[in-house]
């Protein structure tokens, strides 16, 4: 078992970020769950249990990030899964909406690393969340595809600049999370069944599939500058 460490999970209140926080807390790490709502983050931390705590971070506000850094104190690892995404065809997507995707995800991650990066020890790590759209764009995903491609470039560049701190990214495929809650149960089941038939593993992803990959990247001191695909083989079919 690895030595317990302090991990800040920005976006750890839901979905894959929440599953990651849950896994790390269950193995004994001190997890700080961060989200735009302090009440929600603290509620998630209580449900996760262990030594998990909750704080507020708004990634589009550098002052919010700096205040959070003063509150957390030193951390060992930073995990960034938060995102505010917009899906629409290129001809219909307003430039302001596309900018908002970059403001929350790319520039939000960039700001967080500017603030928290100097706190990390030489053995620390940063794990970004990208996504399969960077490799397999579909109609209506232009902003998401582009921001994820930018995150992957940022991963490689920071791995070089911040060494020996390690910087990696996880690129999930279709994963059963709250992001699909806009669909009825019937429509979601149909969409997942159709997607599962097209994937090499015969199913869509689960949040814990991604969480275990993040834990691996935190633990593996010889891995940096990589994009780890957790997509059921979506890039190959």
In a domain, 179, yes or no: yes
Instruction: Give the separation between CA 152 and CA 42, rounded to whole angstroms.
Output: 30
Give the mean pLDDT of 174-197.
89
Overall number of domains in the chain: 1
Dihedral Cα 48, 51, 55, 58, nearest 10 deg: -70
CATH of the domain at 26: 3.40.50.720
- Give tens-digit pLDDT for 95-144: 999 999 999 999 999 999 999 999 999 999 999 999 999 999 999 999 99
Catalytic pick among 14, 81, 86, 130: 130
Query: CB neighbours of 87 closer than 8 A, spacing ≥ 6?
Result: 140, 141, 143, 144
- Give tens-digit pLDDT for 157-167: 999 999 999 99
At 209, is the pLDDT very low, low, confident or very high (cuts 50, 70, 90)? Answer: very high
In a domain, 116, yes or no: yes
Instruction: Give the separation between CA 214 and CA 225, rounded to whole angstroms.
Output: 14
Tell me the residue range of the domain where 200 lies.
6-228
In a domain, 68, yes or no: yes
In a domain, 1, yes or no: no
In a domain, 200, yes or no: yes
pLDDT higher than 70, residue 54? yes
In a domain, 32, yes or no: yes
In a domain, 237, yes or no: no
- Told to judge if 96 belongs to the known catalytic residues of this protein, a careful annotator would answer no
Kind and range of the H or E run holding 44: helix 38-48
DSSP 76-113: SEEEE-------B-TTTS-HHHHHHHIIIIIHHHHHHH
In a domain, 233, yes or no: no
């Amino acid at each position: 078992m690895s030595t317990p460490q302090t991990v800040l999970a920005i976006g750890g209140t839901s979905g894959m970020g929440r599953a990651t926080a849950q896994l790390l807390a269950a193995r004994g790490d001190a997890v700080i769950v961060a989200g735009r709502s302090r009440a929600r983050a603290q509620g998630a931390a209580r449900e996760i249990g262990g030594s998990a705590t909750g704080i507020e971070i708004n990634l589009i506000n550098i002052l919010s990030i700096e205040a959070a850094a003063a509150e957390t104190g030193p951390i060992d690892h930073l995990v960034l899964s938060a995102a505010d995404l917009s899906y629409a065809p290129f001809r219909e997507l307003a430039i302001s909406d596309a900018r908002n995707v970059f403001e929350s995800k790319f520039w939000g991650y960039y700001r967080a690393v500017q603030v928290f990066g100097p706190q990390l020890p030489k053995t620390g790590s940063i794990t970004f969340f990208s996504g399969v759209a960077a490799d397999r764009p579909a109609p209506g995903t232009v902003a998401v595809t582009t921001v994820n491609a930018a995150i992957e470039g940022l991963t490689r560049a920071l791995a070089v600049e911040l060494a020996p701190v390690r910087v990696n990214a996880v690129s999930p495929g279709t994963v059963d999370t709250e992001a699909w809650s806009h669909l009825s149960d019937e429509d979601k089941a149909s969409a997942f069944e159709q997607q599962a038939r097209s994937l090499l593993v015969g199913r869509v992803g689960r949040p814990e599939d991604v969480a275990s990959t993040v834990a691996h990247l935190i633990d593996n001191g010889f891995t940096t500058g990589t994009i780890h695909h957790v997509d059921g083989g979506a890039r190959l079919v």
